Amino acid sequence: MKKILRRIVALSLALALVGCSNAVGAAKNSTASKGAETTGTDLPVLRVAMMPFVTSLPAQYIKANKLDEKNGFKMETTMYATGAPMNEALAADLWDVGAMGAAAVTGVANYDMTIIGEVLESQDGLGVFVKPESKIATVKGFNPSYPNVYGDPDTVKGAKILLPIGTAQHFTTLKWLEKIGVKAEDVNIVNMETAQAYQALKADQADAVALNIPTFFDAKNDGMVQVGNLADMGTKYVDMVTGNKKSLETKAEIIQKYINLLAEAGAALNADQDMATKLMMDYLKEAGAETSEESIRGDLGRVKFIEASDWKNRELGSFAKELGEFYIGLGQLDASLMDKFNTNIVKTFVEKLGTK
């Protein structure tokens, strides 16, 4: 177990350092230098970390409609490939707020990141895939509580599984293994970005891959077998709004405005899928991650953006705690770090939602 954990940590750090290097370059080339508080329009700056996924669409809605400037601040955005390099960039104080899924666990535990809101929830679009001829695809319903899940200990032990470490795909894979009675140390989990991982599966260089949107839809269209879908395992996945602890102290007023606008954006995106689809297409094209309209509509169809009214029945941080407990139970986080999922969940901004 210790050897596996060291491998996971080393791979995560390597990915994070690459992402951080790119982020540093982006920050240097930005129109507003690191630490700057004003732009050409002399508005206070909020540094927003973005990713080329639906997670960042509400933030893009704010930017595209200039709601930041209309509310007295200016968003300065930096793109990150996944949550892992985004976490490392936080350690270098390169952003104020962002949004991510499973990577928030390592962000809170290892980088003192805070969780200040939630941006969306979903039950689809995350899954583990194998090729149709895989022996894993020959066993279905091994666990009668999850009849649509494929695989069992005999077919899965020793499998080489490709995925980006510390992400939603990683969480999905661990959930899948748990449901079929396989321990993480009984398989070979290898860190690899999603698109490359899928190409490796097609080239018979892996036994299974964990995918998210849009590669998730590519695999389904290509006839790959989905052996473990998050929905089939009864888990509703939440992407969280994350914050730099330093920034919460110095930029509380504009962060409150940002949280308010995220809820406003969520309501608008939920209400108009055509608008959301066009915005997502333009956003991904700008980010160099263009995909088909069909995939985008499928992506939007699986999520619900969080609106202000949703907070009447929501408890901020409950999903983060579930993730934390899950990783601790697997021995991938030290149990002492669980305290962070109390101290670093900041409810102030959602409690004041709607205030200026």
What does DSSP assign to residue 355?
-
DSSP strand pairing (45-50 vs 74-79):
parallel
Distance CA 192, CA 205 (A): 12
The neighbour count for residue 142, using CB atoms within 10 Å, is 18
Q: What is the dihedral of CA 282, 287, 291, 297, to 10 degrees?
A: -50
CB-based contact 326:292 (threshold 8 Å): no
* Nearest one of 123, 127, 118, 152 to 138, comparing CA atoms: 152
For residue 79, the SS3 value is strand
Distance of CA 25 to the CA centre of its chain: 23
* Nearest one of 314, 354, 265, 350 to 54, comparing CA atoms: 265
DSSP bridge partners of 98: 242
Residue 230: predicted pLDDT: 83
Q: Which residue has the tokens 């930041």?
A: 68
Q: Which residues contact 159 (CB under 8 A, 6 or more apart)?
A: 136, 187, 188, 207, 208
For residue 3, the SS3 value is helix
* Nearest one of 315, 337, 159 to 238, comparing CA atoms: 315
Distance CA 248, CA 189 (A): 36
Q: Which residue has the tokens 């606008």?
A: 261
The neighbour count for residue 203, using CB atoms within 10 Å, is 8
The one-digit pLDDT tens for each residue of the chain (356 residues) are 333 333 433 333 333 333 333 333 333 333 333 333 344 468 999 999 999 999 999 999 999 999 999 999 999 999 999 898 999 999 999 999 999 988 898 899 999 999 999 999 987 788 999 999 999 999 999 999 999 999 999 999 999 999 988 777 888 999 999 999 999 999 999 999 999 999 999 999 999 999 987 899 899 999 999 999 988 888 888 999 999 999 999 999 999 999 999 999 999 999 999 999 999 999 999 999 888 898 899 889 889 999 999 998 899 998 898 888 878 876 778 888 888 988 999 999 999 997 66
Distance CA 43, CA 250 (A): 15
Residue 41: predicted pLDDT: 60
